[in-house]
Structure 1
Amino acid sequence: MKITKHEHAYLDIEIRDQHLLIDPGIYTVDFGVQKNVAAISLSHIHDDHSYLPHLEKILQQNPEAKLFGPREVVEKLSGLEVQPVYHGDSFSVGPFTLEFFGDLHQEIHRSIPIVQNVGVLVNDALYYPGDSYTQPEYQVELLAMPASGPWLRISDVIDYVSAVKAKRVFPTHNALLNNNGHALQNARIKEVTESNGGEFRYLDIGESWQL
């Protein structure tokens, strides 16, 4: 399994020349359309995670790709065929097994409605929680950990990484950070990851981690 980090929360997982795309959003500026896309997993309705123009471009090149997302994503993308997913659902598409966890986005502020959100576990190895602190129900090999956002506090990130205890961790959801912000957030995530005996890597845009 090869995991490539793109801008913000957009991840490309490759197995045997097939691709699973996670959360291609509006902050992905240099957007190149991948071929051989088997599936696209969308955590929630915010445009930085499910951006219709990007999805339309992907589907033009990959009309057989399967889309997955919570019910609100199905409604948002009403012109596309999206499989609704709920906590505990599991699907197999090509070489990928997707298991979904959770149901709500982390609170941004009490005045802002909370939207649906699902985390996804890929092939029992990579876990990405979307905009939430929902924990997977199993030990995971690799955690894609959100590092920035209006809903995120670094104290909660430290507690979450410590609770999940993934063997490997890299930061994602970080387009809003400048170099100083990356250094600050990454240092805390790295510290707690290594205190649990895990390995931390910062992946720049376009860099990959091979499992």
Structure 2
Amino acid sequence: MRVTKYEHATLTVHDAGKTLVIDPGSFTAPLGELEQVVGVVITHEHPDHWTPEHLTRILRTFPDAVVYGPAGVVAAASDFDIVGVAPGDTREVGPFRLTFFGGRHALIHESIPVVDNVGVLVNDAFYYPGDSYTVPGGAEVKLLAAPVGAPWLKIGDAMDFVLKVAPRQAFGTHDMTLSVAGRQMGRARLAWAVEQDGGEFLELEVGEAADI
């Protein structure tokens, strides 16, 4: 299974000739050559995690792809056929087993509504929390996509999240709001956290991938 990082929070997971797309949002360039997309996961409704343009482009090429999202995404993307998911749900699409966790977006400020958010565990091996610090209880995570920069994110909290998940490997995501210096500083802090349990931090750039 191969996980590829794109701009900001967009990821793809590739296995057995099939592809799962996660959070194709507004900070992400149009995705190029994708192979046999069978599913799309949208963790929450904010535009940096999905756009109608991205979904339309993907579904035009792969009309049988199944799109998953929490209730807030079902409402926000009402022009699309979204399969609603909630924490505790498990779905199978192609070679991918998807288990959903969480339920709510991390708090930005009391003046800003908190929206639905689900983290997704793929094939009991790769975990991405969306915009949250939800730990996938009971899972032994081999690879973690850890948010490194956001209006809701304090780096100490992100470090604690990585310490709790204790993955074998991790890389930084959700990073387009950071300067080059800020991204490197955040990655260094997450690297320290993953190394505390003997794990490895991967310095993935856009278009680079990690194999599980």
TM over 0.5, yes or no? yes
Structure 1, unmatched stretches of 5+, are: none
> What residue is the counterpart of 1:200 in the other structure?
201
Q: Any residues of structure 2 matched to 1:107-126 within 5 Å, and which?
A: 107-126=107-126
Q: CA deviation at 1:33?
A: 5.3
RMSD between superposed Cα atoms in Å: 0.9
Misfit runs of 4+, over 6 Å: none
What are the within-5 Å matches in structure 2 for residues 134-145 of structure 1?
134-137=134-137, 138-145=139-146
Instruction: Please give the per-residue CA displacement for 1:82-115, whole angstroms capped at 9, x wherever unaligned.
Output: 1000010000011000000011000000110100
* TM-superposed deviation, 1:22: 0.3
**Residue number in structure 2 paired with 1:172:** 173
Q: What is the rounded CA distance, in whole Å, between the counterparts of 2:91 and 2:50 in structure 1?
A: 20
Deviation at 1:202, TM superposition (A): 1.3
Which residue of the partner structure matches residue 147 of structure 2?
A: 146
Q: Which residue of 2 aligns with 1:159?
A: 160
Which letter does structure 2 place at the counterpart of 1:56? T
TM-score by length of 1: 0.98
Partner of 1:45: 45
1:46-65 pair list within 5 angstroms:
46-65=46-65
Distance 1:110 1:202 in 2: 34
Per the alignment, in what secondary structure is the counterpart of residue 186 of structure 2?
helix
Q: How far apart in 2 are the matches of 1:96 and 1:51?
A: 23
> Partner residue of 1:190?
191
Say whether the 8 Å CA contact 2:162–2:193 is kept in structure 1.
Answer: yes
TM-score w.r.t. the length of structure 2 is 0.97
Counterpart amino acid of residue 104 in structure 2: L
Distance 2:30 2:105 in 1: 27
How many Å separate the matches in 1 of 2:102 and 2:207? 28
- 2:23 maps to 23
How big is the shift at 1:32? 2.1
Q: Which amino acid in structure 2 is aligned with residue 58 of structure 1?
A: I
Matched to 1:174, the amino acid is D
Aligned identity (percent) is 45
Equivalent residue number for residue 90 of structure 1: 90
Provide structure 2 residue ranges, at least 5 long, that are not aligned to the other structure.
Answer: none
Q: Residue 119 of structure 1: SS of its match in structure 2?
A: strand
Distance 2:33 2:196 in 1: 38
Query: How far apart are the structure 2 equivalents of 1:6 and 1:160?
Result: 22
Matched, 1:181 2:162: no
Matched letter for residue 197 of structure 1: G
Residue identity opposite 2:40 in structure 1? I
Shift of 1:14: 0.3
2:121–2:136 Cα contact (<8 Å) kept? yes
